[in-house]
A and B are shown apart, each in its own frame.
Chain A
Amino acid sequence: EDKVVQSPLSLVVHEGDTVTLNCSYEVTNFRSLLWYKQEKKAPTFLFMLTSSGIEKKSGRLSSILDKKELFSILNITATQTGDSAIYLCAVEPSNSGYALNFGKGTSLLVTP
């Protein structure tokens, strides 16, 4: 059975801290891994990772994939209160039309 496991499940940090969120997976026919941010509404897309070792970066957020060890990390540097959200990891199997397989998410709270 396909599994996507995120850790930690929740995290509280102070503004300015750097955080690392983890996502490991066991998925047959892996094609890509996606990260989403969710703030009390629908998830919004952050990154899609398909190749090992290539960092994707957007402002203070970055992510990398290790296909050999079957995990990905999402880094957020210089955190701000606006980064408070649930961060979801999802894996895309290669079967077209199959659904994204989501982890349980990491709930991040950034305090002033």
Chain B
Amino acid sequence: NAGVTQTPKFQVLKTGQSMTLQCAQDMNHNSMYWYRQDPGMGLRLIYYSASEGTTDKGEVPNGYNVSRLNKREFSLRLESAAPSQTSVYFCASSEPGNHWGYGYTFGSGTRLTVV
């Protein structure tokens, strides 16, 4: 039972390069999320998808785009990476309903460094 799978686990980019972080879940969850985590900043929401076919901006969306490819997959794209995007990125999923926060499942994270 894989849960939430993120790829890659580590990545180094040069400033200006682009890349896509992949996230897939096998729990049939409707909602998916992308967070970034910087030292001392907790988890900040970049984008979320409440259900297949919808996406919305979170707290820190600038410099990112997302695609909810299907119910399982939610990708995060950096079009022109900047050093300020050096961070650890977490994907998560949940099922809307009663106390959906209880079933929040995180991926193992992607450590991205932009030089």
Contacts and interface: CB of A to CB of B under 8 A. Distances in A.
| Bind each other | yes
Interface of A: 6, 9, 31-32, 34, 41-43, 45, 48, 50, 88, 90, 92, 96-105, 107
A12 to B, nearest CB: 15
Interface string B39-68: 011111100101100000010000000000
A43 B108 CA distance: 9
Given A42-B107, A42-B109, A97-B50, A31 B99 contact: yes
Nearest to A42: B106
A43 B43 contact: yes
Contacts of B58: 99
A98 B99 CA distance: 11
A41 B109 contact: yes
B104 A104 contact: no
A50 B102 CA distance: 11
